[in-house]
Structure 1
Amino acid sequence: MLAALRHYPASVNLLLASSLFLTLGRAITLPYLVIYLSSNFTLGISEIGMIVGSALMVGSLLSLYGGYLTDKMSSYKLILCFTGFFFIGFVGMCVTGRLWLFFLFLVSFNFAYSVIDIVVKAAFGKLLPVAEQSRVFSVRYTLINIGYAVGPFIGAGLAHWNMKLPFLVSAALGLGFFVVYGICGDRKLSSADPANVPVSFLAVGRILLKDYRLVCFTVGGMLSAVVFGQFTAYISQYLVTTSTAEFTYQVISSVVAVNAAVVICLQYFVGKHISHRYLNQWLTAGFSLFLMGVVGFALSTTVLHWALAVAIFTLGEIIVFPAEYMFIDRIAPTHLRGMYYGAQNLSNLGGALGPVLCGFALASQPAHFMFYMLAAFIVGGGCFYLLGASYSRRHDQPSSTR
């Protein structure tokens, strides 16, 4: 991976740095939001869940407009602007004593993170040839997972001293990147095409809805994100329902560590071999591993069993993520690449719904029913992905071969 980073131009490495440092800022604070909201605003668990989940959903929905802006404005200005919102969001959450303002700042930070994510992915399509894209997406996803692996440990140490420190350090990371990118960023970088006639946001939305491939991948992404978007949350819910708090802590600690280790060690190696030519086969393999992982969860009785199951599950994750990025980049018209990535970000809605649906399942059905439900979401999501990929392959064939 280090050799690949040396091979990329400085503008690409700076975009990759944004993924690492902004994700690190996010991971330092997010795990402690529940504790912070409980202690500072004396809220119950259900109320906290509604606030955090709603902020994630609103941020994901707004990111669709962020994709529209990506296709219309300078990438340099957008990254600076939304890194500013990222910084303000964390500072605001730290200093405000009003719950409604805290919610707005939480939405601001989630919206900013989602838009920067879209701008970076769209910029890769502009800066790198198709042959390099699977590799750079794998490098990016590895860096993101390094952030998520390291961040909670930093946050735990900071929160031990003062619950506001994680917010301030996350804000400092945002401010630091803002300054660095303001000085070193490529001011000419843009995914917008000035030759295209301006089109309204609603008109672009209608264009997206007519793309069968994008609709299939968006629906498939939302269904599958129910399973992999917040998998540690529903595993915790299941274990709290069926075992002791001590065993739950042991399993979750192992699951998080194994997930991060597998991604960091194998993401780049696996991702660089994923190609457009065999996209269907890669997606089938990825979703099969997801399904095997969930079956493993259902059968696990020891910490070792859970660790092995999550290792298999994570192998599916490191295949599906780069594959879906490559697919979206391939089908997206150059002047609408940002909107296409914005539509893909709607899969985060599935991630936000996962713990809610699993909570209802655990409350109303035998505990193992949750895994049957998750398996159904995997099969449904995989079918939509394969429908979109198969249609795309037929659509891309020359007319003489049809």
Structure 2
Amino acid sequence: MKASLNFHPVVWTLLTGTIFTRAASSMALPFLALYLSSSQQVNPVLIGITIGLSPLSSTLGGFMGGYLSDRIGRKKVMLSAIALWSLVYCGFALADHIVLFMILNVLNGLCRSFFEPSSQAMMGDLTESRLRKRVFSLRYTAINVGAAVGPLLGVYIAGFSSSLPFLITGIMYFLYGIALLIMLNKFSTAQITPEKKLSLSETLTVVLRDRILLLFVIGGILVNFGYSQVDSTLPQYLQTSFQEGVVLFSRLISLNAIMVILLQYPLSVFSEKWPVMNTIMVGCTLFAVGFAGFGFATTPIWFIISMIIVTIGEIFVFPSTSVFIDMIAPEGRRGTYFGAAQFRSIGNFSGPVFGGWLLMETGGHWLFIIIGFIILSSLLFYSSGNKLFSKTKPVSD
């Protein structure tokens, strides 16, 4: 086991930093809406727009961030992004006008969209192909550990000052940047560069012509469209349809986080011998069954069972999508492909809108059944993309 976890020191730095920075951002950003409402007296419409600007800018900026990481190097992009990210969070603590919060959240999304594809590409650069599924699974575990701890810390720290979580987050990102700078200077992180450096427009043309990537992104949009219901329509449905629905929702979210932390690594090891696309398809099927289960559930125990199924699907799907992007990316363009994959986030901000409309028009029963079929339809795109890929390159783990 020790040998199997013998990752590059920079990879371990990225994994460890992911826990601390996700914990930091999770103790601040989930409370941004409350902070704007209570401390800044901003109206709900403007709050909604402000919150939505981050995923929107992240989606649009992902391709640019990935392209730059291939063109000028992962190190420059990552360190620049995290330095600005630190300033952004400190800015949240000091801002006193809604326009400033909007600008800061746009920058927050851009920093994420520049840093995340570059860091994932670097993990791929520095890890043997046979271990990449495991390293991306550990990354996903790190994200969830941070996301589980962060809100608890946020509630406690905000008790001293509502702006303090943002300031502490800025400091933690700064420290993470310093640690990365030291490790990147100490250890070699050479990346394969493209044989021919293309302009941004030429690179975009190449990516758009890659049918495998396009089919993968469409499948990812459908999956993210469905998964976004967990944070949007599911709490609304439970609150209006069940006694103590809010309590039930909080228990479901806690169950999801605990299961991901406990099962991510063993399930990733268990599935390592499966072809990557098989793992994704099993996960999507479980997603579909679990979400449809929400529609049929009439008691808390059935919601719990459905959430267990959804969580196992999540554990299989999300890390494996990173592995698949790594597999299809041409040498020297790994960052660009991870950046282009950020277009899957279209599902994250379109899902809650369409899901809310479905909830009003059809009710929760049909909403979640329809969502299950939407997620299931992603298999058509994933399998088509995989068939094309198998014709050009042998599928390997």
Aligned to 2:72: 73
% same residue:
29
Contact 2:136 2:320 in 1 (8 A): no
Q: Are positions 1:362 and 2:376 aligned together?
A: no
Q: Are positions 1:395 and 2:396 aligned together?
A: no
- AA aligned to 1:266 is L
The separation in 2 between residues aligned to 1:190 and 1:155, in whole angstroms, is 38
Aligned to 1:189: 189
1:79–1:266 CA distance, 2 compared to 1 (3 A): same
Q: Deviations over 1:249-270 (max 9, x none)?
A: 2112211111111111111112
The separation in 2 between residues aligned to 1:383 and 1:235, in whole angstroms, is 26
Contact 1:68 1:339 in 2 (8 A): yes
Aligned to 1:202: 201
3-state SS, counterpart of residue 133 of structure 1: helix
Shift of residue 277 of structure 1? 5.9
Contact 2:225 2:348 in 1 (8 A): yes
Aligned to 2:235: 236
- AA aligned to 2:325 is I
Aligned to 1:52: 51
1:315–1:238 CA distance, 2 compared to 1 (3 A): same
Q: Deviations over 1:323-381 (max 9, x none)?
A: 21111111101211111101111112211222221111222333323113312320222
Q: Deviations over 1:67-109 (max 9, x none)?
A: 1111012322222111111111111111111212211111212
Aligned to 1:378: 375
Match of 2:323 among 321, 326, 329: 326
Contiguous gaps of at least 5 residues in structure 2: none
Q: Deviations over 1:164-183 (max 9, x none)?
A: 11111211210111122222
Q: How does 1:208-227 map to 2 (within 5 A)?
A: 208-227=207-226
- AA aligned to 2:347 is G
- AA aligned to 2:370 is M
- AA aligned to 2:326 is D
Aligned to 1:254: 251
1:21–1:114 CA distance, 2 compared to 1 (3 A): farther
The separation in 2 between residues aligned to 1:109 and 1:282, in whole angstroms, is 32
Contact 2:26 2:146 in 1 (8 A): yes
The separation in 1 between residues aligned to 2:328 and 2:94, in whole angstroms, is 44
Q: Are positions 1:338 and 2:343 aligned together?
A: no
Q: How does 1:83-122 map to 2 (within 5 A)?
A: 83-122=82-121
The separation in 1 between residues aligned to 2:246 and 2:339, in whole angstroms, is 35
How large is the Cα RMSD of the aligned pairs? 2.1
The separation in 2 between residues aligned to 1:151 and 1:159, in whole angstroms, is 12
Shift of residue 311 of structure 1? 1.0
The separation in 2 between residues aligned to 1:273 and 1:6, in whole angstroms, is 15
Contiguous gaps of at least 5 residues in structure 1: none
The separation in 1 between residues aligned to 2:20 and 2:73, in whole angstroms, is 21
- AA aligned to 2:235 is S
The separation in 2 between residues aligned to 1:315 and 1:277, in whole angstroms, is 16
- AA aligned to 1:156 is V
Shift of residue 19 of structure 1? 1.9
Q: Deviations over 1:292-346 (max 9, x none)?
A: 1112211223333222211110100111112211111111012111111011111
Shift of residue 158 of structure 1? 1.4
If the length of structure 2 is used for normalisation, what is the TM-score? 0.93
Q: Deviations over 1:16-53 (max 9, x none)?
A: 12322221222111211110121234233343222211
3-state SS, counterpart of residue 295 of structure 1: helix
- AA aligned to 2:217 is T
Contact 1:229 1:348 in 2 (8 A): no
1:6–1:322 CA distance, 2 compared to 1 (3 A): closer
Contact 1:259 1:311 in 2 (8 A): yes
Length, aligned pairs only: 394
Shift of residue 276 of structure 1? 7.9
The separation in 2 between residues aligned to 1:47 and 1:4, in whole angstroms, is 52
Aligned to 2:276: 279
The separation in 2 between residues aligned to 1:394 and 1:13, in whole angstroms, is 35
Q: How does 1:23-38 map to 2 (within 5 A)?
A: 23-38=22-37
Contact 1:263 1:314 in 2 (8 A): yes
Shift of residue 275 of structure 1? 4.7
The separation in 2 between residues aligned to 1:281 and 1:164, in whole angstroms, is 45
Shift of residue 199 of structure 1? 1.0
Q: Deviations over 1:177-228 (max 9, x none)?
A: 11222223346525461x6332111110110111111000111111110112
Aligned to 2:294: 297
